[in-house]
Chains A and B, each alone.
Chain A
Amino acid sequence: MHGQAIEKNNMLHLTVNGKRYALEQGSRSDQVAPEHTLAYTLRETLGLTGTKVSCDEGACGACTVIMDGKTILSCMTLTIECDGNSITTIEGLSDPTTKKLDPLQQAFIDHTAFQCGFCTPGMIMSAKALLRENPAPTEEEVKEALAGNFCRCISHYHVVKAVMAASVKSR
């Protein structure tokens, strides 16, 4: 690596699901290279494989995570540009001590809101960001918030029901 490494004292700080990570920059498997996407770092470097990569070009939402309160696509984000940011992934939703699932996750199970499940982590992250901002959304608002999450198995109808159920519970 060139200039950057020197300018930036070589460490990258991320908070993922409340846990702080200081990652070195470099090309070893425990390091972050400039060309690593956040999806890559989460899955391959930190072992958080709950975040999925499907299209890898910004179109499907499978890789959605919450960064500083907003949903973003981890496949279109360079990890090196996330220094100092706080990220929540699907692994961060259950209660860290009791391991109890988030009510939203439970609602997905109760409503069988998936088939193959590949889109589900992204769906749940989008829904989570919505419910944090708007705990009692209308069905239209739920659809709007999930407009960037694609499901090949057509689970959308069940997903909307699950999110509506979770929102009612949280009221």
Chain B
Amino acid sequence: MRPFTHYDAHAVEEALTLLKRYNGRAVLNAGGTDLLSALKGEYLLHYPEAIINIKTIPDLAYIREDGDMLRIGALARLSDVVNSPLLRKRYNALAEAAYSVATPQVRNMATLGGNLCQDIRCWYYRYPRHIGGPIGCLRKGNKACLAATGDNRYHAIMGGKGCFAVCPSDTAVALAALNGRIKIVGTRGERSVPVTDFFHPLGNELKRGEMVREIEVPRITGMVRQTFLKFTLRRPVDFAIVSVASVIAVPRGRCREARIALGAVGPAPVRATAAEEWLKGKPISEATAAEAATAALTGARPLRMNSYKVEIAKTLIKRALTS
């Protein structure tokens, strides 16, 4: 890695002040499992001048219910999310999604905030310097997206605009189905956005000088069934080819509410609103699940090499609903 100046931030405010001082030339380091790849591969056009370690900020790794909200600090480790008795019991889709991430070692290091803020995995974008990169593309300010005409087997089937990289975060998918929100802080104050709006086709909602402080989820009460299913070629390590998270309430055999989120299909997790509406009041059966799956994917516009993702998504939705 090339040299940089290093800081340990001991409070959120300190991290924000440093971000402001460096005005775009500093980056935060949480677990480092994504950032260090970027620093080693040098695939971004600008190498940061400073790294700000935020693991030294105390009391930002909590997982607790507080009134009608579940609150998780940005520094909670994925392994803590996986092992939290509270999450296992009442927010299992999130615990399962975290468990599906990478490997035990990565989960011991990676934070929930970092998982949501991690950079995309497009192989053109990440082509490292030591084998001939970086490669310029639309996301890096050039004219064309190389994946649009190149090998796009793992790219978006819906919602891509200019860039067709998919949101790599598994926890984002579960949080989308749980109606989660991301709390963002900057030197000018705090705001909160729904997880589905956090991810943009060319980046995310964070503006220069901002960071994620907390993840909040409306408290789950009553009987709901939650699932997180992820299709990969190998079970550990691999990123999702498609994933589905669902949160459904089916009292007395009829669906009262269904929330279905699709992952790795677009720049953000995609809520299958048409399917959710259609399911309301209906019994859950093989037939209604199949109809819902079809409704969920009607908006899909696959690229040359990834129409197979449509079928996988439909199958995962059917399994999630009928499991």
Contact = CB atoms under 8 A, between A and B. Distances in A.
Given A58-B37, A58-B105, A76-B36, 10 more contacts: A1-B5, A7-B7, A33-B3, A34-B6, A56-B40, A57-B40, A57-B41, A73-B33, A73-B105, A145-B104
A4 B51 CA distance: 11
A47 interface: no
B106 interface: yes
Interface string B1-28: 1111111100000000000000000000
Nearest to B37: A57
Contacts of B32: 76-78, 81
B105 to A, nearest CB: 5
Interface stretch (A64-72, A96-104, A163-171): A64-72
A61 B103 contact: yes
Given A58-B36, A78-B29, A81-B8, A148 B105 contact: yes
A73 B109 contact: yes
Nearest to A1: B5
A147 B102 CA distance: 9
A73 B2 CA distance: 20
A34 B5 contact: yes
B55 A34 contact: no
Nearest to A68: B108
Given A34-B6, A72-B109, A59 B237 contact: yes
22 contacts: A7-B7, A34-B4, A34-B51, A35-B2, A35-B3, A37-B36, A57-B41, A58-B33, A58-B36, A58-B105, A70-B79, A72-B109, A77-B32, A78-B29, A78-B51, A80-B53, A147-B235, A147-B236, A148-B102, A148-B104, A148-B105, A148-B237
B106 A148 contact: yes
Contacts of B109: 72-73, 76-77
Nearest to B41: A57
Contact of B105 (A8, A61, A80, A144): A61
Contacts of B56: 81
B106 A58 contact: yes
A35 B1 contact: yes
A80 B6 contact: yes
